[in-house]
């Protein structure tokens, strides 16, 4: 139980730190982008610190106004998105639908097939002003082997959640 409390505390602290980072700082400072990437468990737990520093040099920072599309279902997926601040939702999924907030990573499943072969599985829209880091797949492919187990765990969790939702819906 102590571990869970500590993990929750770290996530809360991480989200508070992200709220203080401006778009200008992200665009001008690779060290700030590296700090954000280190705070996202997907990168922190699966990449060495020097690789994160190198990756931070190639990351793009973008801001999305409320209602602006981040991506459309079916379009070619060419990047991983890390939410820095704000909230991203699947349009039409309702209040209890999935949402993504600070520290969440989107689009990592596409690394399994590589740039140009992956497509977005959902449309995503900014529910409020949202700042993200976008990492083109081409910069992650060389690190794919270190990220495969993390992606596998995330795929498993997503499939488990989808199966549970299907069961709930078929019981209505």
Percent of the chain with pLDDT over 70: 84
Q: What is the mean pLDDT of the chain?
A: 82
Q: Please give the pLDDT value at position 161.
A: 84
- Is pLDDT larger for residue 60 or for residue 149? 60
Summarize the confidence of residues 13-36 as an average pLDDT: 72
Q: Which of 97, 86, 95 is nearest to 126 (CA)?
A: 86
**Structural domain spans, the chain:** 2-170
pLDDT at 11 over 70: no
* 8 A C-beta contact, residue 133 and residue 61: yes
**No. of H helices and E strands in the chain?**
7, 8
pLDDT at 163 over 90: no
12 forms beta bridges with: none
* 8 A C-beta contact, residue 42 and residue 150: yes
pLDDT at 62 over 90: yes
At the second CATH level, the architecture of 2-170 is: Sandwich (2.60)
pLDDT at 14 over 60: no
- Is pLDDT larger for residue 78 or for residue 14? 78
Return the exposure string of 130-164: e unless at least 16 CB atoms fall within 10 Å of the residue's CB, then b. bbbbbbebebbeebeeebeebbeeeeeeeeeeeee
pLDDT digits (tens, 9 = 90+) for 71-117: 999 999 999 999 999 999 999 888 778 899 999 999 888 878 766 77
Torsion of CA 48, 54, 57, 60, to 10 degrees: -40
* 8 A C-beta contact, residue 127 and residue 88: yes
């Amino acid at each position: 139980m102590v571990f869970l409390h500590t993990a929750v505390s770290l996530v809360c602290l991480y989200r508070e730190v992200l709220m203080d980072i401006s778009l200008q700082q992200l665009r001008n400072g690779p060290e700030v982008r590296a700090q954000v990437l280190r705070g996202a468990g997907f990168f922190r737990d699966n990449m060495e610190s020097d690789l994160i520093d190198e990756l931070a040099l190639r990351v793009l920072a973008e801001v999305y106004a409320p209602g602006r599309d981040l991506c459309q279902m079916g379009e070619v997926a060419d990047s991983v998105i890390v939410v820095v601040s704000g909230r991203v939702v699947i349009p039409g999924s309702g209040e209890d639908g999935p949402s993504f907030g600070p520290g969440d990573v989107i689009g990592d499943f596409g690394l399994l097939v590589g740039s140009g072969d992956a497509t977005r599985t959902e449309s995503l829209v900014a529910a409020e002003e949202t700042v993200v880091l976008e990492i083109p797949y081409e910069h992650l492919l060389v690190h794919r082997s270190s990220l495969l187990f993390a992606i596998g765990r995330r795929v498993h969790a997503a499939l488990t959640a989808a199966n549970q939702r299907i069961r709930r819906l078929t019981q209505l």
